[in-house]
Each structure stands twice: as structure tokens, then as C-alpha cells.
Structure 1
């Protein structure tokens, strides 16, 4: 008999939550509507538990057994600061509601999961003046969950700036050990934005709130230099003319970063995004660089401007190229043997739309697994 805790993984993508949870857990069911991502999921995990299709068309009868955990990294586009602001009413982020209908159906069948984790962009805290966050909390409370949230920047684990919101909910009958909560917010995972979102909640919802006590991880020992390849696979170094064209798109502030990197006297590795900015009321393309040993947040590539560049400054020479698919996988904490899609665009889309593996592992080890141990003891008593 397999006594490992079981979970359902919704909006599973390439299975990065599964990678983070690890072999100590067993996947009972996984779902994603994107067939290309599903191919990667099958290549790495097999397809036995995977259902490819719209979450709106899944019924509770298709969910086997009773999950200890449900993980849902639901779409962020309508909640993102870069989106159109539709929030939970949007076509993509609004898929939270059919997902939640499944959770309600499980409750009616006495199969409500002990724990639920909802992952999204930090914009979910402020979308529609905080009303979308309130509606999520209200949905959890109505199904008799206590909940709290963490804002975790993946930069603590990998050299990528990627803050994300994790709402962690425990069913009302799960006994929560006192060591797993605090009376008040605390750094580094309870940010000002999260505290403000909590304060905006009605008192009835704050009564269900838990300030989760999750320790900070050890200092990261992986640098951007460790991630970047001298001889990349699948991408080519740009010509001198193409690199100069990128540099010509820089503001004085970013040109100063290039000059400082040249003065460093050693090989410097940085990253660059092309962004649209306003200047004198007109839209212009800007190239924005960073040399702080950190990559920018990976994004799903809707166009060339969404793809991140690598900059290498060595002996006064500047070289540039697109970041390789394997480099993006490393920035997401994926192992070297993780099988990526064959095409660059598909691989970048997979990694840019995922959850960082090492962040999932930290949440699991520090909070989810201790909660389930308490839950098992409590239910057996």
C-alpha cells in the first residue's frame, strides 16, 4: 500500500509543482488544457494521471479517491499588472471559478482535500482594488477553510527575480500546530502588499486568517554565472551589429551599467529585456539591462520583446544572445535531465509560465508536510 500523501495538480503545465513536491508525494490527478505542455508532462512523468482538457469540462467523478493536497497555479494573465485588468472575470484567470466548483463538489461528497495551495502573481492582491483577493478568501471560507498567504521571491532560491503569491488553506478540521503560525506578519514572506491586502479584508474573513510561519531558506549558492552557458544550445550569439543595435536602444542609465561592467576588470554576465516605454508622450522601444547577478522574471513569450537576452561583457567587448531554453529551465529550478520541448518557443513558454521548483519544495517541507503529519495524528485520535 502506498501511504504517501496524494495530490491533484491543476493547471499543471510541465509538472513543476510535481517536481517540487518530489517522490515523497503521489500524484492522483493532473490537468492542463495546453496540449504542448501536456506532451512535456508525459515525457517527464508519464501520462497515467494526466487529463488534457478544459477545467470547465471536468467533473468530480473524474477525480480519484481523496486528495490530501490540491495545488492550483491558475492562469495569471488577467491578474497581472501587464494584463488588461479583467481579474477573476477574465477568460483566463476566471478559470479559477470552474476549478473552485470542483472543490465545492468534493466537499459535498465528503472528499474535500485537507490542504489547498493557490499560486499566482502578486497582482492578485490588488486586482480590482483587492476585491479579487477578497473573493478568493471568501470562497475558501465558505468551504470551511482557514487560510493565509505568502509572497515568495524565487530569488531566494535561484538567480531569478520572480515574486509570487501562494495562498495556503487548511480544512477547518486540520489541527494546526502552534509552531506553524505566528500572531502577526513577519518577514520575509509577509510583505507590505500582503499585509495591506489582509487589512482590506472584512473582519469575517480575517477571522479565518492564519499568518503562516515559514522560515527563510539558507543563502542561495547558485549565481547567474552558474546558469549561463558559454556554448549555448539552440541559440546563437548575435552579430556585433545586432548587439550594437540593442545598446543603441538603451537609456543613459542602462548605458552606464554597460560602462560599469566594462570597468569591472572581469567577465560580467547580465540580462536584458526590450520594453516599451513612453517618452514625450510617444511609445519607444528601450533595452533595459541588469548586472546584479540576477535574471529578470521569465515571461511567456508573446513576441520578441518578451524573451530575455543574455549579455556578456569581457575585456571591453559586449556580446548578446537570447537566453537558451536550458538556461530558463535552470532558472526555474528544474533538473538537468528534465526533458524540454524540441522547439525554442515551446520550451520558453513552458518554463516562463511555470512555478519555481525549489520554492514548491520549501513550502512543502516547511508547511505542507508538517501540516499533514498533524492532520494524520489529529484524525486518528
Structure 2
């Protein structure tokens, strides 16, 4: 059986490529960042990689008719923590460069059979839902039928990372019944309230083109955060005791009391800490350190500032130690195995992970939805 083919836009370190797996062949990859491109080359070679602005991608660069075009376009202008410029912003507006390439392929009769757009869940509500509606209008106007799902990486990995996935099919792709939800979008973990509200705000043509995709909850034994922690990573040395104490001093009394309780238990516990701005009793903004010990890390972010990088707390034998999460730990939280070559610079490696798409989520979507849409369902794979 021949391989399925794909274009990987906004490729970063190639995490969509890793997730799709060996049954897929990359025809073209693109990223603007030379540092991410260097990591891509280190792991996959550079024969199919174009480094440059997505707006400059032409049909001549895109061979054949791909089964899939994957686009994890920049999230900064759609994020709740960002500038909220939406698709009009300089970064998230890169979507339109991707879309122009798709339209040019369509004009040549080579439109990709399926599309996946991945972004933060803020894309559902950005600019009052207008950005999501704009994407829906673009897809339906070009003859694509589409639907959306929210999948949290915590289903597969010890990281809380809910992300929006818009899955579209060309008009010559007929979805199997197994891929379509017979309940027509009944609420589920994959279809939160915000998705239903975004769907309701679509224009008439986009609503007509909408498909409620069906996914079955995965059955995965998820590793706990403590299972991916390195003992003494070179990229993230342990802090001095007084530095750890300064971090603990930033905690609210309830959080600090929990730390003391865990110290007294004499059981090894690993937690993740973020620094956040909170309001105190007087209404003034104060910096707080907040820890979670549920075996799951918070969502990885890019290391623009110290508060964007997670700190690990390890409590053992009544002693609390702290350090930044290492580059390899961040990669493990994205589902990359230890054979994946990371950039030598800590910030570059952490950014590569924080900007990526979780590998097992891509594999899940490929297995449960993309491959069946392209005629590679479970039965087809068994008889190949």
C-alpha cells in the first residue's frame, strides 16, 4: 500500500511529521525560523524543507496533490494572553499565507484532499468569534467541508494542553459514516461549549459545510510528570536552597501549607510551578507562585520571560528542591522520544517544544480521522 502524502506548513521541529508516522511521506515543509529549521534538518534532513515567509510559498514549490496539508499557524494574536489582533495580526495572520497557497493549488486542480489547522482554543473566541467565522467562510467558499474538535494533550501526556483542530475535506472526499457524529454534535470533551458557540456564529454557507466529526476517547496509560523528570539535567541545574525558599515565599498561604504537608509525608512528589500575577486582599497585583501536584504539568509556553518557563518542585525526604524544567523534559511533554535531536541552546530547545503540536495527538487524529477519511481505516490497514 502506498504512503499517504502531506505538506507541513509552520513545521517548527517537525512534530506533526513525527505524529503522522511512517505511513506518511512529506512532500514539502516550511518554517520562517532558521533555528527551528536547523532542528528540522537535524532530525529529518532538508530535502523537502523551505525556510522563509509562508506568504512567499508558490505552487511550484508544492509537488503533486498532497493527501493532507497540516498548518499549525502562529497563535500569538489569537491567544488570550496575546495582543488579541486576531487574524489581522502580523503573526497569526500568517494563516492567510497558508490559505493563499491552498487556493493557488485549487486553481491548478491540486487542492489537498484534507486540511488540518491547529491553534489555541482562543481561536474560537478571538475578536468575538469573527476570526473563527473568517476561517469557516474561507473553507466553505473554497469548496471544503469542515468541522472542529478540541483535544487536550493530557489524554496522552502529563501536560495540560487543550488545542483546537479544524479538519477539512475537499469536495471529492466522501467521509465514512464512522467519521461523522450521528448525534450531530452532542456536547463532549472534544466539543466544549465554546466550540458550539463558535459554530453558531458561523455564516450560512459555513454552517452548511460543517461536519460534526466523531472521535472515540483514547485508552492510554498516561505517564505521570514524575516519570519524565531527569535526575540531574545539564540544561537546568538545581537552584540553591535560598533560591528555592524565595520561590516558596511567593506562594499564597494555602499553597505553602500544602508544600509543608507534602514534606511531612516523606513521599517523593514532583510538581510544576508557574509564576502568575494575582490580586491580593487589597486589590493590588502581586506575583504568586502556584504549584500543582496532580501528575500533570501546565501548558508549555515559549520562554519569552522567566514566568513563561515552568519550574519543577521535587519534594523528597522532607527536602524541597527546585529548578527550571529541562529541555529534554519539555520535549518529553510534547511526546518526542529521547532520540529526537534538540537544539543545544536551552531557550531554543524550550521554544521548539512550546511552539509545537503534541505528537500523540497528531497520531490520534491521523488514526481516528484522517486515515479513515483517506480510505485508510482500521480494516484497510489490517488487509494491507
1:261·1:291 contact (CA, 8 Å) conserved in 2?
no
CA RMSD of aligned residues (A): 1.5
Runs of 4+ in 1 over 3 A off after TM superposition: 278-283
Q: Distance in 2 between matches of 1:48 and 1:96?
A: 24
Instruction: Find out whether 1:103 has 2:102 as its counterpart.
Output: yes
1:283 to 281, 285, 296: 285
2:277·2:288 contact (CA, 8 Å) conserved in 1?
yes
Q: Which residue of 1 aligns with 2:24?
A: 25
1:176·1:374 contact (CA, 8 Å) conserved in 2?
no
Q: Deviations over 1:1-22 (max 9, x none)?
A: x921111000000000000001
- Please, which moves more after superposition, 34-43 or 256-265? 256-265
Q: TM-score with structure 1 length normalisation?
A: 0.95
Q: Gapped runs of 5+ residues in structure 1? A: none
Q: Deviations over 1:3-61 (max 9, x none)?
A: 21111000000000000001100000000000000000000000000000011111112
Give 3-state SS (helix, strand or coil) of 1:235's partner.
coil
1:295 to 294, 297, 300: 297
Deviation at 1:265, TM superposition (A): 3.5
Q: Which residue of 2 aligns with 1:86?
A: 85
Deviation at 1:162, TM superposition (A): 0.3
Instruction: Find out whether 1:320 has 2:322 as its counterpart.
Output: yes
Q: Distance in 2 between matches of 1:299 and 1:31?
A: 22
Q: Distance in 2 between matches of 1:256 and 1:149?
A: 42
Q: Which residue of 2 aligns with 1:49?
A: 48
Give 3-state SS (helix, strand or coil) of 1:101's partner.
helix
Instruction: Find out whether 1:211 has 2:218 as its counterpart.
Output: no
Q: Distance in 2 between matches of 1:362 and 1:299?
A: 23
Deviation at 1:143, TM superposition (A): 0.6
Q: Which residue of 1 aligns with 2:357?
A: 355
Deviation at 1:281, TM superposition (A): 4.5
Q: Distance in 2 between matches of 1:295 and 1:345?
A: 18
Give 3-state SS (helix, strand or coil) of 2:209's partner.
coil
Give 3-state SS (helix, strand or coil) of 2:289's partner.
strand
Deviation at 1:266, TM superposition (A): 0.7
Q: 5 Å matches for 1:150-299?
A: 150-183=149-182, 184-186=184-186, 187-279=188-280, 280-299=282-301
- Please, which moves more after superposition, 103-112 or 196-205? 196-205
Q: Distance in 2 between matches of 1:82 and 1:253?
A: 26
Q: Deviations over 1:69-92 (max 9, x none)?
A: 000000000000000110001000
Q: Distance in 2 between matches of 1:8 and 1:296?
A: 30
2:12·2:31 contact (CA, 8 Å) conserved in 1?
yes
Q: Deviations over 1:268-322 (max 9, x none)?
A: 0001011223434543221111101000100001011111111011122111000
Deviation at 1:263, TM superposition (A): 4.0
1:17·1:357 contact (CA, 8 Å) conserved in 2?
yes
Count of matched residue pairs: 375
